[in-house]
């Protein structure tokens, strides 16, 4: 009876009331409650209740492992929208077998589900996720696998990328303020110059994921695209407490399809990056 009450409340015009109902259904945690919440998110009703679907998805995100286990039969649903929603729910969860489950969805016969699962795997940014993506080249378009691997800023992802395609441009190295003093937790990213309709209007856009340097100042990046004519720059942002972040942005020349090893020094006196290829 309580489950039915909260399901009916999900259709309320009041979004706050609907969100409370979604949280209540997740807290009840029975198969009936969890599946009702899932179906609301996967197949939202017509407006105005349609706008309550995000609240249902947020509640599903907070389900524990037992709640996700209740939903696993949905992986075999005949409805693509249901399987597509399983990608979202699993990715947002803390289920210990999350990557394995996403790998199963990455083999789906529906290309939209397959692509969503590959992107979800790549967003985990772990060496294990990189290995899983590399194993999926027999089941998914290579370009999709490459794109998802590019999202992972771990050295192992670069190794897998280069095994799949020698055309990808990669770089790995260390960021320091001076020899023996690594920069830890600094944001680093490759940028690409993009000219507007007016040749004098130059904009810079991301041409790699943004990553944070590790405890040794290390980083690993793969470029989204790279032509010999591209103008590239390395962007570094150093945040330190309450002070305004320091931003460095300097040109870098990379050879398309090569794996580059480099050491980058953020010279605070000169306000520039000193890039040394090793």
User: Residue 246 sits in a domain of what CATH number?
Assistant: 2.60.40.1120
Bridge pairing between strands 211-212 and 259-267: unpaired
Query: What is the pLDDT at residue 242?
Result: 72
- For the ranges 55-64, 104-113, 150-159, which has the lowest average pLDDT? 55-64
The pLDDT of 122-139, averaged and rounded, is: 96
User: What is the structure's pLDDT at 240?
Assistant: 80
Q: What pLDDT is recorded for position 147?
A: 95
Instruction: Please report, rounded to a whole number, the percentage of residues in the chain having pLDDT higher than 90.
Output: 87
233 forms bridges with which residues in the sheet? 191, 251
DSSP-assigned states of every residue in 93-133: S--TTHHHHHHHHTT-SSHHHHHHHHHHHHTT--HHHHHHH
pLDDT of residue 245: 92
Q: How confident is the model over 1-28, as a mean pLDDT?
A: 91
Mean pLDDT of 259-264: 98
Residue 199, pLDDT > 70, answer no
Per-residue b or e along 169-208, where b marks 16 or more CB atoms closer than 10 Å to that residue's CB:
bbbbbbbbeeeeebbeebbbbbbbeeeeeeeeeeeeeebb
Pair (258, 232) in one structural domain: yes
Q: Report the chain's mean pLDDT, rounded to a whole number.
A: 94
- Number of other CB atoms surrounding residue 79 within 10 Å: 11
Same domain, 45 and 176: no
| pLDDT at residue number 257 | 96
Same domain flag for 23 and 154: yes
260: left (phi over 0), alpha (psi -120 to 50) or beta: beta
Instruction: Give yes or no: residues 100 and 152 share one domain.
Output: yes
Percent of the chain with pLDDT strictly greater than 70: 99
Q: Give residue 251's domain range.
A: 170-277
Its pTM surpasses 0.95: no
The pLDDT score that the predictor gives to residue 207 is 97
Q: Which of 266, 208, 274 is nearest to 237 (CA)?
A: 266
Phi and psi torsions of 193, nearest 5° = -75, 130
Query: Could you give the number of structural domains in the chain?
Result: 2
Residue 159 and residue 44 in one domain: yes
Based on the domain organization, do 116 and 204 belong to the same domain?
no
CA-closest candidate to residue 84, choices 38, 136, 153, 127: 38
């Amino acid at each position: 009876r309580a489950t039915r009450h909260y399901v009916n409340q999900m259709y309320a015009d009041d979004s706050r009331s609907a969100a409370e109902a979604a949280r209540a259904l997740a807290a009840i945690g029975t198969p009936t409650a969890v599946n009702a919440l899932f179906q609301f998110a996967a197949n939202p009703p017509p407006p105005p209740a349609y706008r309550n679907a995000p609240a249902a998805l947020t509640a599903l995100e907070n389900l524990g492992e037992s709640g996700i286990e209740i939903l696993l039969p949905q992986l075999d649903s005949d409805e693509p929208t249901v399987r597509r929603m399983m990608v979202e729910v699993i990715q947002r969860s803390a289920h210990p077998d999350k990557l394995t489950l996403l790998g199963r969805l990455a083999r789906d016969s529906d290309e939209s589900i397959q692509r969503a699962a590959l992107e979800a795997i790549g967003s985990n940014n772990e060496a294990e996720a990189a290995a899983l993506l590399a194993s999926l080249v027999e089941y998914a378009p290579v370009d999709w696998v490459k794109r998802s691997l590019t999202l992972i800023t771990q050295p192992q992802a670069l190794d897998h990328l280069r095994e799949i395609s020698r055309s990808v441009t990669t770089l790995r190295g260390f960021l320091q303020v001076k020899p023996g003093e690594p920069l830890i937790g600094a944001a680093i990213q490759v940028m690409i110059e993009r000219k507007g309709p007016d040749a004098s209007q130059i904009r810079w856009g991301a041409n790699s994921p943004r990553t944070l340097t590790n405890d040794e100042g290390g980083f690993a990046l793969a470029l989204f695209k790279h032509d010999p004519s591209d103008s590239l720059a390395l962007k570094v942002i150093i945040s330190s407490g309450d002070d305004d972040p320091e931003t460095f942005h300097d040109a870098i020349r990379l050879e398309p399809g090569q794996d580059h090893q480099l050491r980058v020094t953020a010279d605070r006196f000169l306000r520039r990056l000193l890039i040394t290829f090793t």
